[in-house]
């Protein structure tokens, strides 16, 4: 039933899908929101699997520094930066500018 091991990947996708354009969040924030307290890494893993889910804007998920750590996992290393820039998120040197303001905390903004 609920005991499916990979089911938690869906939880991550669900949250990521709720990220509004022009905003970004961190792996740890999602992990913490889902209760995967130390699962920040697992969230990154889920993102890797999200490769098969077109509805998962993984480009809106960055590390806690606001750094595009996962840009290398996209079709091209610049794809993530382009997608963010297209949504109004300014990126420089693989880092999101004004990150604290762009930060979208699921636990705070989505608290449902």
Partner DNA sequence: ACCGTGACGAGAT
Partner DNA sequence: CATCTCGCCACGG
Could you tell me the smallest distance in angstroms from the CB atom of residue 73 to DNA?
4
Chain position carrying tokens 């930066």: 81
Minimum distance between the CB of residue 77 and DNA, rounded to whole angstroms?
11
Tell me the site size for DNA, rule CB under 7 A: 31
- Cα(87)–Cα(2) distance, integer angstroms: 36
- To DNA, the closest distance from the beta carbon of 31 in angstroms equals 7
| Whether 8 contacts 49, CB under 8 Å | no
Q: Is 91 in the site for DNA (CB under 7 A)?
A: no
6 binds DNA (CB under 7 A): yes
How many whole angstroms separate alpha carbon 106 and alpha carbon 96?
18
The β-bridge relationship of strands 61-62 and 91-92 is unpaired
Chain residues that interact with DNA, rule: CB under 7 A: 5-6, 26-29, 31, 38-45, 47-48, 50-51, 58, 61, 63-65, 69-74, 80
């Amino acid at each position: 039933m609920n005991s499916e091991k990979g089911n938690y990947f869906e939880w991550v996708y669900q949250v990521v899908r709720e990220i509004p354009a022009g905003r970004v969040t961190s792996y740890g924030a999602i992990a913490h929101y889902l209760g995967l307290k130390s699962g920040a890494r697992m969230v990154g893993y889920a993102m890797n699997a999200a490769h098969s889910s077109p509805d998962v804007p993984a480009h809106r998920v960055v590390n806690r520094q606001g750094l595009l750590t996962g840009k290398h996992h996209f079709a091209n290393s610049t794809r993530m930066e382009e997608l963010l820039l297209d949504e109004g998120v300014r990126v420089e040197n693989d880092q999101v500018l004004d990150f604290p303001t762009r930060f979208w905390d699921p636990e705070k903004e989505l608290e449902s």
